[in-house]
Structure 1
Amino acid sequence: MSLPLLASACLLSVTLGYGVKCWLSPFGDCRTCHGMGHGFKTDRKGRTKRGRDCRRCQATGKRIRVGRWIYNRAACTYRAGTR
Structure 2
Amino acid sequence: MPPALLAIACLLAITLGYSGLCALSPLGTCRKCRGFGFAMTIDRRGCLKRGKHCRRCDGHGKRIRFGRWLYNHAVRIHHAGTR
TM-score clears 0.5: yes
TM-score (norm 1): 0.98
Aligned residues: 83
Cα deviation, residue 9, structure 1: 0.3
Match of 2:78?
78
| Counterpart Cα distance in 2 of 1:24 and 1:72 | 14
1:22-81 deviation digits (Å, cap 9, x = unpaired): 000000000000000011111111011110110100000000000000000000000001
DSSP-derived class of the 1:4 partner: helix
The whole-number CA distance in structure 2 between the counterparts of 1:48 and 1:79 is 48
CA distance in 2, matches of 1:9, 1:33: 35
* Structure 2 unaligned blocks of 5 or more: none
The TM-score normalised by the length of structure 2 is 0.98
Shift of 1:10: 0.3
* Aligned equivalents of 1:81, 1:43: Cα separation in 2: 54
Paired with 1:40 and 1:5, the residues of 2 have a C-alpha distance of: 47
The one-letter code of the counterpart of 1:12 is: L
Give the aligned residue type for 2:77. T
